[in-house]
Structure 1
Amino acid sequence: MAQTVPETIRSSATAGERILFHTLKNHLDDDYIVYYEPEIDGKRPDFVIIGPYLGLLVLEVKDYTMNTLHQFNVDEWLINTSSNGMQKVKSPLKQAMEYMFTIQDKLKKDINLIHHEGKYQSKLKFPCGYGTVFTRLSQEQCLRSDLYEVIDPMFVLTREEMDPDKEEFSEDNLVEKLLNMFKIPFRLKEPLQPREINAIRYHLFPEVRISREYKQPSPYRDQLLLSLHDLKTMDIHQEKLAKQLGDKNRLIRGVAGSGKTLILASRARIIKQEHPDWNILILCYNVSLSRSIESMVRTKMEDPADLFEAAEENRNAMDGITVRNFHEWLRHDLKTSEKDLPALLEKLEKGETILPKYDAVMIDEGQDFAPDWLRLVSLLLNEDTYSMLLVEDRAQNIYRRKRSYVQDTGLDFRGRSKILQINYRNTAQIIKFAWEFFQTFSETSKVVAGDLEGQEIIPPQSTRRKGPDPAIIQATSWTEEVRKVAFTMKKLHEQKKVPYEEMLVLYRVKRTYKVDVIGTIKRIFEEMDIPFTWITENQETKRLYKKEDGTAKISTIDSSKGMDFQAVFMVNADNMPFALEEDENREVALMYIGMTRAIEYLTISYSGESKFTEYFDEVVEKRKQIGESEEMTK
């Protein structure tokens, strides 16, 4: 529940303002502050929201109905009021924007809140956004009245998006809309600290005093091992693949850690350089992965290729590029939901509806996409360009999507696919360990090395990079297991200098009838002074995931796809295969995914018994026998 100032809304507030006030109060997290009609330099914006990951957001609220609206443009509206008849008023979005500029100008006077160098010199270190709320208009009415022609939907909250009593209301969508109400995409590298929030309050509200100390955020570092700079000197196959991918549909099938996402991001840059006016869509299934891809693509787009690229162009590097997870795309861009897909597809195929068209589409982790999803994407591709890049790894297919691209989606990748078998992410020891586990348990026996289109699993080839064998921790209780894991993490941090932000703890479920998985992890980590962030606590924490914040990350295995960390700890392995999961192959794929997130150090821990832990017990026993044999031969 957010903190609201004042605690309750005034009795003379409009019905719509009341609904929004209570919605923000009840559906935003505890660390949000919501101001209702604060006075700032003689002005009174309707709502000002401050959040650690949000920054500052101004909302202008209007109770307009369809009968109210007469004429409108970007700057000025002619409205029909019940008391004064026809009246010219300023566009509510422009009004919110002006309030935001007033606040920005006030906050920029504090040198501790601005950048002192670089392209953001003299600009605030956190984003300031603005938007409008139409408490009595639906999305359908906004479309029908052409309201979206003068206000981009990203800056609008409609009745069903802000009223919990409406069936279409979604807390996730509400938070997502607020996070996207920024003219210039600018996500915080680390959350606003309490002292920075107090600094904002100090300048906006004179009675508040603050400390002016500020910790400079750590610079962004590419999530993956490979970068655009490295692409020129790394594996020649990857370089050619990124530069020579033609138009039309293309498929890249590769093992975990083979640089599929790198190629996708690099390809986005290449296409944008060749076709600056193209509208590019990048999709994946996983929420936190979409944020990682967005950061990676942005870094690629802003990195100058040569001296002819002006800094001015880089400011708008993401123009025309949309990065979403699939369901976010449905909600945000297409204004629909998965349950409505069959009817929507039928209308599209009959030409009975119009949706946004894309000149190029790129899909990461394509094995997670259902046939209808791909069919929808293919129908929204520009017929003249039809440029689709699909990257996938069927060994990571945890959603068991079964399809034939040609029969189910109309996409024919025969002769248009490439295979990446070399794993650059993991050490030879880790990839061997993970692949042997996968082969032991997976019922998917069709493994190939050729250039085929079906459901094949690609066996990984390791690089020559060596490292320690994956560790296996056996414990007598869950509490002891977590303590051993925490001790190992501190040892890696102190002796091997592995930053905590390069450590990932993976769990299958957050609670079982036996143990409170997350509760125990949090308690023991706090006791042992291990900083951590539970990135899969809720949808918002997934969307706001940032790797480099100085904390170890705690995540479900499902949400770890696309991530990589120096050290990975897969805890509570005795809870796999999960008893309530009917498809054991999915559990095998999840374990494989988790293992292959590790760059250098992999640890599997358990304190009970399961089919998987019996396998790990055998690995431990074999290691002992090999060790004893080696001792005898010395």
Structure 2
Amino acid sequence: MAITIPETIRSTATAGERLFFRTLKTFLPDDYIVYFEPEIQGKRPDFVIIGPDLGIVVLEVKDYTKNTLFQINHDEWHIVATFGDQAVIKSPMKQARDNMFHVVDVLKKDKNLVQLDGKYKFQLKFPYGHGVVFTRMYSKDFIKEGLYSVIEPHLCFTRDEIDPDKEEFSEEVLMEKILNMFVVPFRLKEPLTLEDINAIRYHLFPEVRISAEFKAPVPYQDQLLLSLHDIKTMDLHQENLAKQIGDKNRLIRGVAGSGKTIILASRAKMLSKQNPDWKILILCYNISLANAIQQMIHHMLNEPEDLFDFDPTAKKVQNQNIIVRNFHSWLKNDLKIREQQLPAFIKKIERKEAILPTYDAVLIDEGQDFEADWLKIVSLLINVDTQSLLLVEDRAQTIYNRKRSYLQDTGLSFQGRSKVLSINYRNTQQIVKFAWDFYRKHSMFKNKVVNRDLEGEIIAPQSTKRKGPEPGIVKAANFFEEMRLVARQIKKLHFERKVPLDEMLILYRVKRTHQYPIIDIIKRALTDEGLPFYWITENDVSKRSFEKEDGKVKISTIDSSKGLDFQAVFIVNVGSMPFPLEENREREVSLLYIGMTRAKEYLCLSYSGESEFTLYLDGILQERREKNKGIVKVN
């Protein structure tokens, strides 16, 4: 079964489009991607098919009958419209061909997608083709009316070739025809790689772009070609979700590292593009996460549709209609009210006695951190005509004791309007297992872990199987020694594994204990090793102004790291967890789980004191020692 984007076809699609959509989804291979009506730099073909052993095929769908056609030639068709009026249109074959070359022209600019020598130099390194699907005409109609003299048989589908209910239908013929709809007469010697397909998606669909190493266009034998490396795009499931969230109120529940924030930001960009006059609000709890989302949105809005249009000297686009705030900043600066006033203001708004700003769309990240009254006031300020509210959450990352029912809090039902993201893309398989084993062992919610789509449950993460080193565990005599070891490890990762300093994060629970001034010792250890650092959570100003790519190691509380990710994460002073003064032990479990899942590749936990959590880590260290005893090393 092929991957279709969107996952389901819109209800207003024609009967023929719906039939063809179902046929492609059912009968094409699992690794084929079928796009329905994608927007590609101003053009909107009906279907685009991408397959590793295929290349790209662009298809137009026509629900014509033989009575529709009055006079046709290779360039234009005279057709009889619905009420008997005649119209002259571009030949559907020419329309499909033009759309195909539009796609090809976009892709041919990428050095990695073209052949740089040989007979097909500067052509795409994979085949591309086009065709037309006639959903209400049969092969016998084409023969009887002599239509094959104008329309090449191998470049069109008829009803009997796409309808599984027809006796003449054959899955083999469907595949064979698609494989032969090509302009360039060569087959792929080797299938397209995942990197190739991601590069194709990166160019055709700017909304799926996350990042790429962009190098200046390079001249190559009188051609100017793009050079991109390390391309990262949304995964297909994430793209599907961003494009088919739908209107009105929606809920996305996802595990740590599943791309919830990326989907939310991409959704905001799409809404802004489709509705430039809309006022769009993005809210979250953390100041540092609001700052990160602001930077992500700014990057997305300044990402050019066509990378050759990229002008580094051009004035940056400001997100005019997208406002990003942490909740309390929004309350203070935009609504001009204090949190204590919320209950009274909610009543005033309900009685229409207060006038506050309204929003056409609101998107809330880390929704599990929001109080009932917070959600209530947000929902009251959404345009009643749009009712566009997107809530994104992960109950396993709950660190505040919130009791809620979304129906009561917002007045909106999310029954049948929610999606679950269970795949963790951020962390390696080893980090996912390590963090989840800890959570399952210590959380009082462990018996609520199920995989069905029910409100209130914890979702078990699935790993993408991306492998990496086992999380490190460092036990030291005291915190001074602990930080010396951590600082040296950071230096080693930087020089030996080439991990950038700004891709490393140190997380702490509290900035001082009765024994140690934690922050002072962290800063001293980094300074002694000559490592520049930025303390994100020094104050509100540092939280709002931090930039990730500044060449400095970051330092943060675990609370403020929600929504962020780094290549390497060091959680220090784990002996202070569960924190003795914190009455809610479950919050401590969630905090350490959150901290662990910030790490994309390298994770290290260090401690010099003793606590319930360090005793658990002692057990893991003991298991590792016993396991290593049984290993015989052969030189």
**Fold similarity call, TM over 0.5:** yes
SS where residue 488 of structure 1 aligns?
A: helix
5 Å-filtered alignment, 1:428-467, equals: 428-445=429-446, 446-452=448-454, 454-467=455-468
Judged with a 3 Å threshold, the aligned counterparts in structure 2 of structure 1 residues 387 and 302 are, in CA distance, closer, same or farther, namely same
5 Å-filtered alignment, 1:339-378, equals: 339-378=340-379
The alignment status of 1:613 with 2:624, answered yes or no, reads: no
5 Å-filtered alignment, 1:477-556, equals: 477-556=478-557
The answer as to whether partners of 2:574 and 2:614 remain within 8 angstroms in 1 is yes
SS where residue 357 of structure 1 aligns?
A: coil
The alignment status of 1:285 with 2:285, answered yes or no, reads: yes
With 296-305 and 371-380 compared, the bigger mean Cα shift is at 296-305
Match in the other structure for 1:266:
266
The answer as to whether partners of 2:399 and 2:588 remain within 8 angstroms in 1 is yes
CA deviations on 1:126-159 (whole Å, 9 max, x unpaired) are xxxxxxxxxxxxxxxxxxxxxxxxxxxxxxxxxx
The alignment status of 1:227 with 2:210, answered yes or no, reads: yes
Unaligned runs of 5+ in 1: 1-224
The answer as to whether partners of 2:360 and 2:382 remain within 8 angstroms in 1 is yes
Paired AA for residue 533 in structure 2: F
Match in the other structure for 1:217:
none
The alignment status of 1:562 with 2:545, answered yes or no, reads: no
Match in the other structure for 2:392:
391
Separation in 2 of the partners of 1:276 and 1:231?
29
Judged with a 3 Å threshold, the aligned counterparts in structure 2 of structure 1 residues 265 and 487 are, in CA distance, closer, same or farther, namely same
User: What displacement does 1:239 show?
Assistant: 1.1
The answer as to whether partners of 1:256 and 1:393 remain within 8 angstroms in 2 is yes
User: What displacement does 1:310 show?
Assistant: 10
Judged with a 3 Å threshold, the aligned counterparts in structure 2 of structure 1 residues 425 and 232 are, in CA distance, closer, same or farther, namely closer
Match in the other structure for 1:573:
574
User: What displacement does 1:237 show?
Assistant: 1.5
Match in the other structure for 1:108:
none
User: What displacement does 1:305 show?
Assistant: 2.8
Q: TM-score, normalised by structure 2?
A: 0.62
User: What displacement does 1:303 show?
Assistant: 1.4
Paired AA for residue 421 in structure 1: S
The answer as to whether partners of 1:506 and 1:554 remain within 8 angstroms in 2 is yes
The answer as to whether partners of 2:211 and 2:233 remain within 8 angstroms in 1 is no
CA deviations on 1:387-440 (whole Å, 9 max, x unpaired) are 011111111100121211112331211100000011110000001000000010
Separation in 2 of the partners of 1:467 and 1:308?
36
Separation in 2 of the partners of 1:415 and 1:403?
18
Match in the other structure for 2:305:
305
User: What displacement does 1:231 show?
Assistant: 10
5 Å-filtered alignment, 1:71-82, equals: none
User: What displacement does 1:228 show?
Assistant: 7.1
Match in the other structure for 1:417:
418
Bigger Cα Rg: 2
CA deviations on 1:499-526 (whole Å, 9 max, x unpaired) are 1111100000000111110111111211
The alignment status of 1:321 with 2:322, answered yes or no, reads: yes
CA deviations on 1:52-88 (whole Å, 9 max, x unpaired) are xxxxxxxxxxxxxxxxxxxxxxxxxxxxxxxxxxxxx
Paired AA for residue 276 in structure 2: P
Match in the other structure for 1:242:
242
CA deviations on 1:150-178 (whole Å, 9 max, x unpaired) are xxxxxxxxxxxxxxxxxxxxxxxxxxxxx
SS where residue 227 of structure 1 aligns?
A: strand
The answer as to whether partners of 1:226 and 1:259 remain within 8 angstroms in 2 is no
Match in the other structure for 1:37:
none
User: What displacement does 1:309 show?
Assistant: 9.1
Unaligned runs of 5+ in 2: 1-207, 213-229
CA deviations on 1:478-505 (whole Å, 9 max, x unpaired) are 1111111111111111111111111100
Judged with a 3 Å threshold, the aligned counterparts in structure 2 of structure 1 residues 407 and 472 are, in CA distance, closer, same or farther, namely same
SS where residue 457 of structure 2 aligns?
A: coil
User: What displacement does 1:235 show?
Assistant: 2.7
Match in the other structure for 1:119:
none
The answer as to whether partners of 1:355 and 1:380 remain within 8 angstroms in 2 is yes
Counting aligned pairs with the same residue, the percent is 59
Match in the other structure for 1:132:
none
The answer as to whether partners of 2:209 and 2:233 remain within 8 angstroms in 1 is no
The alignment status of 1:295 with 2:307, answered yes or no, reads: no
Separation in 1 of the partners of 2:514 and 2:482?
17
The answer as to whether partners of 1:301 and 1:314 remain within 8 angstroms in 2 is no
Match in the other structure for 2:51:
none
SS where residue 278 of structure 1 aligns?
A: coil
The answer as to whether partners of 1:228 and 1:266 remain within 8 angstroms in 2 is no
Separation in 1 of the partners of 2:310 and 2:501?
37
Separation in 2 of the partners of 1:568 and 1:348?
45
SS where residue 538 of structure 2 aligns?
A: coil
Judged with a 3 Å threshold, the aligned counterparts in structure 2 of structure 1 residues 352 and 490 are, in CA distance, closer, same or farther, namely same
Q: CA RMSD in A?
A: 2.3
The answer as to whether partners of 1:226 and 1:262 remain within 8 angstroms in 2 is no
The answer as to whether partners of 1:232 and 1:239 remain within 8 angstroms in 2 is no
Q: TM-score, normalised by structure 1?
A: 0.62
Match in the other structure for 1:254:
254
Separation in 2 of the partners of 1:253 and 1:449?
11
Paired AA for residue 280 in structure 2: I
The answer as to whether partners of 2:298 and 2:317 remain within 8 angstroms in 1 is no
Match in the other structure for 1:625:
626
Paired AA for residue 561 in structure 1: K
Paired AA for residue 299 in structure 1: H
The alignment status of 1:337 with 2:338, answered yes or no, reads: yes
Separation in 1 of the partners of 2:295 and 2:320?
14
SS where residue 292 of structure 1 aligns?
A: helix
Separation in 1 of the partners of 2:245 and 2:211?
16
Separation in 1 of the partners of 2:508 and 2:327?
24
User: What displacement does 1:449 show?
Assistant: 1.2
Separation in 2 of the partners of 1:505 and 1:307?
36
The answer as to whether partners of 1:426 and 1:598 remain within 8 angstroms in 2 is yes
User: What displacement does 1:455 show?
Assistant: 1.4
Judged with a 3 Å threshold, the aligned counterparts in structure 2 of structure 1 residues 519 and 317 are, in CA distance, closer, same or farther, namely closer
SS where residue 537 of structure 2 aligns?
A: coil
Match in the other structure for 1:601:
602
User: What displacement does 1:633 show?
Assistant: 12
The answer as to whether partners of 2:363 and 2:390 remain within 8 angstroms in 1 is yes
Judged with a 3 Å threshold, the aligned counterparts in structure 2 of structure 1 residues 301 and 628 are, in CA distance, closer, same or farther, namely same
Paired AA for residue 294 in structure 1: Q
The answer as to whether partners of 1:242 and 1:266 remain within 8 angstroms in 2 is yes
5 Å-filtered alignment, 1:36-75, equals: none
The alignment status of 1:406 with 2:407, answered yes or no, reads: yes
Separation in 2 of the partners of 1:279 and 1:371?
23
User: What displacement does 1:236 show?
Assistant: 2.1
Match in the other structure for 1:96:
none
The answer as to whether partners of 1:228 and 1:300 remain within 8 angstroms in 2 is no
Separation in 2 of the partners of 1:401 and 1:448?
21
Judged with a 3 Å threshold, the aligned counterparts in structure 2 of structure 1 residues 548 and 316 are, in CA distance, closer, same or farther, namely closer
CA deviations on 1:344-376 (whole Å, 9 max, x unpaired) are 101011110010010000011111101110111
User: What displacement does 1:338 show?
Assistant: 0.7
Separation in 1 of the partners of 2:495 and 2:242?
39
